[in-house]
A and B are shown apart, each in its own frame.
Chain A
């Protein structure tokens, strides 16, 4: 399945670029991620716990970054092995476009599943993948911009960028 979309983030392009390259940020953004380590050069090792329809599984996998054109575009490829649940594999082509003070993040995601995930969950896998991608990019926005509700400046600091600069 393929997903294409874009999201406007209230941060300069370089900040968005750096966020995508951070293991901490990715851990916070990937839904169900319990562990994330590594670097853009070596790739990130990730553990993700997710439930797809009737199948709940812990996926252990590697995320690699490639085609990197700082700070404009890159490709993320990940494959997770979920043991008996099968496997999930996805790639995202990300393009960052400057828009005044903001950055528009364009993405094109491809995802594939195999094994039990495909056998039992094929009807719901497209919706699930869309939800995962939406959540990821929404989380990314929150991580970079901080929560929408900025009543308290302390809360705003929870954003990844602010943690980085504070």
Chain B
């Protein structure tokens, strides 16, 4: 059976993951290892007047207690946001200072003020509890409304009114004019709930300082170890890049939350140097809720105008985005270029205008979380069009269909240029699988049992494969977003692929090997994927934004192209044939139409012995490539959700869920299906269960699994996962990416289904039984 592109081969990495043999950061044990614990602010906004560490320092096992003044005194730089956004008036964004250990003020509950190093984890934690801090509490703004209110407390001095930026995209006048002429306007207030990412493995760091070499090594739970090294060197001044090795070994899920370089990694590296000990820190689950960057948290007002035929004529959006207390690494891009550029959805919308107000609050920093901006856009667009269909008395599929984009490439009014897709084909396939036509009978049957049945659809589109470096550079990105690869063929014919992508659950060790198997016909067991170590891989931008397929694998393809050229040249020389007649298949190199053949290892051996090479050829078989994408890729699809609501309790059961996606070329359908399953589960979590809640004074009230509801198997039906693919036209394999689609397309489909069931469009996520019951009964009251 083929192990190449399209083969559903089992994951190579699962043997170690399913037998407990994975090597995670917390599994690293150094001989001189000490443990770190952080002293964290219990107040959301407070001045740190005095810190008394005397009692803590006297405790057993305590090696050192270090604070922010010492950290900044040693020249460790403030934490940065890597994407510069410019406000409407041309002013730069207001980035407030963020020290890895707070110096004068703490700005959210969990803000670290000191690091305690001790011989054991328990000793470090006990001493951290014994540090006495005199906090002077300050007024708190724990929500968007509180931070924007008159007289709101000022969180950063350089951000008047707590405004990060006031940004816009699109044409306001043209959009207003289009809306003024519209035959119908749908107007909605939409809130996108705040989420905690909850990867299975909490964050962890082991920092190792070698005083003899003046060299640092950091094992860390990172999605992008090279970016971590770059930022730790260039901005945080921990060590120059050649004196800092960052290793992200097995990482148990990220969902975006492990892209960023957090205070803890910085403080551990610095503390390792200060104490000349290896320093380990592993977050517990409460710390994860308190310090891992949260996702979403938007409040939006939107108006969508339609002409008499139901064609969209204009879309105006005004969004307020909660940034939390500090600007995390990608935070500025998420509610701007990753959000507003997708507001055209799958529809031909001639006029779009969006303005976004970024706002500081006394909460955990907010950054990219599975989908990052695109779930917010998709939720808004798909709820608007569904609601419009209900207001206009049209079938929601018909209203979508008359607005679908059908010709490609398609330039939207908000930067993006869609290269491919068959939006109607996807929707029709999903409708058939969901038996859309038979819904009425099912609804009647539910009604006989006293239940309310609803059906909802979402035709999402997203932008993946981030991103063309020059394009994102012109929009403010601080880095290029290409990817690198190196392919080494060994003398015995086995192959190592070094990639700048990082696998933390995606299955790269299998899918990347399949690309090699597809090219040369070698078994995937003879291909090893090397990633996650800055000493092994030259550079890479890491894994997020569904980029490892479209960008990471494209770099591998480029490197394979170069390697194949050399193999052909070498084989032609050895087999005394023309290069044009060389055929590589089934792990052999042949001369077409003859019985001349080289076994795969004979090619490798010849290249490395160098005894008989074509004139001018260097020995060895190793080629590298950098791939810079030409465009974003645009995965899209149609999700249909069917629910039943119990009007007595408001409890919603998902009865059926169909996902029909266009991911372009699929390398491993089994892995893709797994990605879609996980994404849908997270989308259902956002739609029905999950929400981070703060009290008015900034205490996080949902900081454990007692209060933060994660989706469980019994919350979910069997998913019907289908594909309707059109290849991406801008990368060599035609891939679009699949990692985030489920989380992007699901929430609107679920909420559209529930609002259909209860007959009230005014329902916010998470649609808990209490909220659904209240919305159902307020709709009833309104009807009476």
Interface residues of A (CB under 8 A from B): 83-84, 86-87, 112-116, 118-120, 122-123
Whether B42 contacts A86 by the Cβ 8 Å rule is yes
Binding site secondary structure of chain A: helix
Of A83, A113, A119, A120, the contact of B130 (CB 8 Å cutoff): A83
Contact residues in A for B334 (Cβ distance below 8 Å):
none
Q: Choose, from B394-402, B697-705, B724-732, the stretch at the interface.
A: B697-705
Q: Is B695's beta carbon under 8 Å from chain A? A: yes
What is the size, in residues, of chain B's interface with A at 8 Å between Cβ atoms? 20
Contact residues in A for B286 (Cβ distance below 8 Å):
116, 119-120
Q: Is B60's beta carbon under 8 Å from chain A? A: no
Interface hits, B107-136 → A, CB 8 Å: 109, 125, 128-130
Contact residues in A for B706 (Cβ distance below 8 Å):
120, 123
Whether A122 contacts B701 by the Cβ 8 Å rule is yes
Whether B695 contacts A115 by the Cβ 8 Å rule is no
Whether B701 contacts A118 by the Cβ 8 Å rule is yes
B493 to chain A minimum Cβ distance, whole angstroms, is 56
Whether B704 contacts A114 by the Cβ 8 Å rule is no
Interface residues of B (CB under 8 A from A): 42-43, 109, 125, 128-130, 286, 289-290, 695, 697, 699-704, 706-707
Whether A119 contacts B700 by the Cβ 8 Å rule is yes
Given contacts A83-B129, A114-B699, A116-B286, are A122 and B707 in contact (CB under 8 A)? yes
Contact residues in B for A113 (Cβ distance below 8 Å):
699
Of A87, A120, A123, the contact of B42 (CB 8 Å cutoff): A87
Contact residues in A for B697 (Cβ distance below 8 Å):
112, 114
* Complex A-B, nearest 9 residue pairs according to Cβ-Cβ distance, in ascending order: A119-B703, A115-B42, A118-B699, A84-B129, A122-B701, A114-B42, A83-B129, A86-B42, A114-B699
Binding site secondary structure of chain B: loop
Of A83, A84, A122, the contact of B699 (CB 8 Å cutoff): A122
* Between-chain CB contacts (< 8 Å), 21 pairs: A83-B130, A84-B125, A84-B128, A112-B697, A113-B699, A114-B697, A114-B699, A115-B42, A116-B286, A118-B700, A118-B701, A119-B289, A119-B290, A120-B703, A120-B704, A122-B699, A122-B701, A122-B702, A122-B707, A123-B706, A123-B707
Closest to B696 in A: A112
Give Cα A118 to B128, complex, Å.
19
Contact residues in A for B289 (Cβ distance below 8 Å):
119
Given contacts A83-B129, A114-B42, are A122 and B109 in contact (CB under 8 A)? no
Contact residues in B for A112 (Cβ distance below 8 Å):
697
Contact residues in B for A114 (Cβ distance below 8 Å):
42-43, 109, 697, 699
Contact residues in A for B290 (Cβ distance below 8 Å):
119
Contact residues in B for A118 (Cβ distance below 8 Å):
109, 695, 699-701, 703
Give Cα A116 to B704, complex, Å.
10
Of B43, B125, B129, B701, the contact of A119 (CB 8 Å cutoff): B701
Give Cα A46 to B636, complex, Å.
62
Of A84, A115, A120, the contact of B109 (CB 8 Å cutoff): A115
Give Cα A84 to B43, complex, Å.
13
Contact residues in B for A87 (Cβ distance below 8 Å):
42
Contact residues in A for B125 (Cβ distance below 8 Å):
84
Give Cα A109 to B683, complex, Å.
41
Give Cα A116 to B286, complex, Å.
8
Give Cα A1 to B289, complex, Å.
23
Closest to B697 in A: A112
Give Cα A16 to B555, complex, Å.
82
Give Cα A5 to B455, complex, Å.
49
Closest to A118 in B: B699
Q: Identify which of B125, B129, B289, B706 gathers the most chain A CB atoms within 10 Å of its CB.
A: B706
Contact residues in A for B703 (Cβ distance below 8 Å):
118-120
Give Cα A84 to B41, complex, Å.
10
Closest to A86 in B: B42
